[in-house]
Amino acid sequence: MTELPQLTDRKLGLVIDLDTCVGCHACVISCKGWNTENYGAPLSDQDAYGANPSGTFLNRVHSFEVQPDAGAAQLIHFPKSCLHCEDAPCVTVCPTGASYKRAEDGIVLVNEDACIGCGLCAWACPYGARELDQAAGVMKKCTLCVDRIYNENLPEEDRVPSCVRTCPAGARHFGDLGDDTSEVSKLVAERGGMDLMPEMGTKPVNKYLPPRPKDELASDIDVLAPFLKPVAEEPKGFMGWLDKALDKLPGGAK
């Protein structure tokens, strides 16, 4: 089980649009809610109303500032959860076979009944995608809502991960990244979807769409200047222009 499947039939995953994510944390809490009530042990919280509240979350939104060589600093909100890597190091290190990657869709899961809570999979994950639940003593991670995406008790349109369903800005997309014709694959191709830490060789399935270039308006001044050509320099001249312009309006009488 701990071995990775040679090939998965599909590569289900998320495409996260960093150009659109406003950092609202909706996905974080929706995930917390769904996964507290569903798959495996609830996501517990320690010291919930005290000095050091700390709970298990499968999805967290970071934020980074980028200071380009020239121009204003940028702020980028950055949701991060399991990337369901093709070469998932978290799976192969597992001593019990609790961690596995599904052959049919590539989802990386933890079989909580087999998990001894050694934490080694979390050590092996470069992305911080796994958290050992302090109450249950088992490793928790994003399941890509495997209990939603095929769930016949849900309307078909709701068979997407909870984070995708809830994202107000539509910054999260779900689909088969193994299928070049899928919407998510097209997005990745169009927008230059990228891998996190490619040097780790994990081959993440989840992709991130980079923010579009920012603050470019200032460089367009030469193109835009004609739009501001004054119609007159003096208020008097402006009135002259106005009269002519009014005549040119559709329905203008004279």
Q: Is 97 in the site for other proteins (CB under 8 A)?
A: yes
Both tokens assigned to 220: 């367009």
Residue recorded with tokens 């994003």: 142
Binding residue count for other proteins, defined by CB under 8 A? 153
- Interacting residue with other proteins among 20, 179, 186, 203 (CB under 8 A): 20
Quote the DSSP letter at residue 157.
Answer: G
- Interacting residue with other proteins among 14, 167, 184, 205 (CB under 8 A): 167
Based on CB atoms, which residue is closest to other proteins, 181 or 229?
Answer: 229
Q: Is 156 in the site for other proteins (CB under 8 A)?
A: no
**Beta strand 12-17 with 207-209: parallel, antiparallel or unpaired?**
parallel
Both tokens assigned to 25: 């944390």
Residue 29 burial (10 A CB sphere; 0-12, 13-18, 19+): middle
Cα gap 192→110, rounded to integer Å: 31
Site string for other proteins, 35-74 (x = CB under 8 A): -xxx--xx-xxxxxxxxxxxxxx--xxxxxxxxxx--xxx
Based on CB atoms, which residue is closest to other proteins, 164 or 178?
Answer: 164
Q: What angle do CA 17, 205, 145 make, to 5 degrees?
A: 80
Residue 253 to residues 33, 239, 249, Cα–Cα distance (Å): 65, 18, 9
Based on CB atoms, which residue is closest to other proteins, 137 or 189?
Answer: 137
Q: Is 186 in the site for other proteins (CB under 8 A)?
A: no
Cα gap 100→94, rounded to integer Å: 9
Based on CB atoms, which residue is closest to other proteins, 141 or 178?
Answer: 141
Shortest Cβ distance from residue 180 to other proteins (Å)?
A: 21
Q: Is 200 in the site for other proteins (CB under 8 A)?
A: yes
- Interacting residue with other proteins among 10, 13, 165, 182 (CB under 8 A): 165
